[in-house]
């Protein structure tokens, strides 16, 4: 008893002699928070700098091309030719703040907010069906416009779903073969996300979310028979969703025979290919492209790659594709060197997200794949896409800086 009293009194005297900063650090250390905070204070390394400069290059490159390709669209809508560029610049600034926040915030502390954020993201998916604020575009009701601010809720759901899956599979890494503990919760979250995308008629978003979940499950060590079963059923479901209506079927299969469909469902892809062929090696020059003059619909957003190829030629195409390859290389390096399982799955998921969405977008623009309506990450016009992608890049840099 006397020993305990002596220890208590000595601790009290020690606390009295400590400064306010020292006492605060002691409280954080006892709560396990100080070690998490130290994670974000490691010196930057090569992987971090390569990811940072690549993201910065792609975003800057995208702003230039949005300025070039959106001016004609803005004029046709009765606006200033700078309107859409300044909107994109504003979203890039907000995205920069998001990237800085997720880079500095200790990602291990993020786990306590994972489930509430996922539920909030699910709630956002119902906003497009609300009167007066829901917006329909090209048959898809997937956008929200509140005053001057418009966004696509599925972009936020992509990030929320990724973080949820990475957290759950990271925590239960020793139970990857237990279907009830690992596979079932992930599948439930995935099915809910895909269902919400499909009722919005956003098949592209559903495809990307499926690929993200499958990639995280593979990296977590979920048995391949389960992953293959989910992938196979997803392909069947996507085909069914595509073939049930003639308009959707014709739009998705138009790329298979552009000579016959170039006057109807394949018009956009055909014009995109013509624009790409005009670019040559060095391009016709920024601002001098003709595809954006109404020949290539959505030349500033979904089909911005065709504008890049026409105005900057093979050089611009190399910069874009090389940038995404660099992100993949150093993103996977960050995942392999992560300090904990959660960080590894987070980095790997973000990397595969960017890679898969870029492949689908470029494949559709070049006529190699069906057109899905997906943007080119970090480059295409679209505020919510840019904000979420830059925030995800901040998470990737966070993991990269905290490598072993």
Is 251 contained in some domain?
Answer: yes
Q: Give yes or no: residues 1 and 89 share one domain.
A: no
37 domain residue, yes or no: no
Same-domain pairing of 108 and 194: yes
- Assess whether 26 and 49 both reside in one domain: no
Let me know if residue 36 belongs to a domain: no
Assigned domain for 38 exists: no
Tell whether 144 and 166 lie within a shared domain: yes
Domain assignment present for 39: no
**What is the Cα 103 distance to its own chain's centre?**
15
Residue 85 lies in a domain: yes
Q: What local confidence, expressed as pLDDT, does residue 26 receive?
A: 54
Domain co-membership, 358 together with 311: yes
Number of domains in the chain: 2
Indicate the SS3 state at residue 43: coil
Is residue 336 in some structural domain? yes
Please check whether residues 25 and 152 belong to one and the same domain.
Answer: no
Alpha-carbon gap, residue 143 to 125, rounded angstroms: 9
Range of the domain at 313: 45-401
Cβ–Cβ under 8 Å, residues 109 and 101: no
Q: Are residues 82 and 207 in the same domain?
A: yes
The mean pLDDT values, 10 residues at a time, for the chain of 404 residues are 47 54 52 44 82 96 93 85 92 95 86 92 92 80 85 94 94 85 93 93 91 94 92 90 81 85 88 92 89 87 94 94 96 92 94 95 92 91 94 94 84
**What is the per-residue pLDDT for 181?**
87
Residues 303 and 222 in one domain: yes
In terms of domains, do 123 and 23 share one? no
Same domain, 154 and 238: yes
State whether 368 and 299 are in the same domain.
yes
Q: What is this structure's pTM? A: 0.86
Instruction: Please check whether residues 223 and 193 belong to one and the same domain.
Output: yes
**What string of DSSP letters covers 260-302?**
HHTTTTTHHHHHHHHHHHHHTTT-S-TT--STTTTTSTTTTTT
Q: Sheet harboring 140-146: ordered strands across?
A: 134-137, 140-146, 149-151
| Per-residue pLDDT, 19 | 65
How high is the pLDDT of residue 115? 92
Query: Does residue 373 lie within any of the structural domains?
Result: yes
Residue carrying the six token digits 């896409």: 385
Lookup: tokens for 129? 């069906």
Name residues whose C-beta falls within 8 Å of residue 362's C-beta, 6 or more positions apart in sequence. 305, 321, 368, 376
């Amino acid at each position: 008893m006397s020993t305990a009293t002596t220890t208590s009194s000595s601790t009290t005297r020690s606390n009295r002699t400590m400064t306010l900063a020292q006492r605060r650090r002691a409280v954080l250390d006892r709560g396990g928070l100080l070690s998490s905070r130290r994670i974000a204070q490691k010196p930057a390394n090569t992987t971090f700098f390569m990811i940072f400069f690549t993201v910065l290059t792609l975003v800057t490159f995208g702003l230039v091309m949005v300025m070039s390709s959106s001016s004609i669209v803005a004029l046709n809508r009765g606006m200033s030719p700078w309107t859409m560029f300044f909107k994109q610049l504003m979203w890039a600034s907000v995205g920069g703040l998001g990237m800085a926040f997720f880079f500095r915030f200790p990602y291990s502390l993020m786990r306590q907010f994972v489930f509430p954020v996922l539920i909030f993201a699910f709630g956002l998916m119902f906003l497009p069906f609300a009167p007066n604020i829901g917006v329909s575009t090209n048959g898809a009701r997937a956008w929200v416009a509140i005053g001057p601010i418009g966004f696509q809720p599925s972009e936020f759901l992509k990030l929320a779903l990724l973080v949820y899956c990475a957290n759950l599979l990271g925590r239960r890494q020793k139970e990857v073969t237990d279907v009830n503990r690992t596979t079932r919760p992930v599948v439930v979250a995935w099915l809910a996300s895909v269902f919400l995308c499909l009722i919005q008629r956003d098949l592209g978003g559903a495809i990307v979310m499926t690929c993200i979940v499958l990639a995280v499950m593979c990296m977590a060590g979920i048995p391949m028979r389960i992953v293959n079963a989910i992938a196979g059923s997803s392909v069947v479901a996507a085909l069914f969703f595509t073939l049930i209506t003639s308009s959707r079927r014709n739009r998705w299969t138009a790329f298979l025979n552009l000579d016959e469909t170039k006057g109807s469902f394949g018009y956009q892809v055909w014009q995109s290919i013509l624009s790409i062929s005009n670019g040559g090696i060095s391009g016709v020059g920024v601002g001098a492209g003709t595809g954006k003059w109404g020949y290539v619909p959505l030349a500033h957003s979904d089909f911005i790659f065709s504008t890049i190829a026409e105005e900057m030629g093979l050089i611009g195409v190399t910069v874009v594709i090389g940038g995404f390859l660099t992100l993949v290389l150093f993103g996977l390096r960050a995942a392999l060197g992560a300090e904990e399982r959660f960080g590894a799955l987070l980095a790997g998921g973000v990397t595969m997200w960017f890679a898969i969405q870029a492949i689908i977008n470029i494949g559709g623009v070049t006529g190699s794949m069906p057109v899905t309506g997906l943007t080119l990450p970090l480059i295409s016009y679209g505020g919510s896409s840019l904000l979420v992608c830059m925030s995800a890049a901040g998470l990737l840099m966070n993991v990269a800086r905290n490598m072993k």
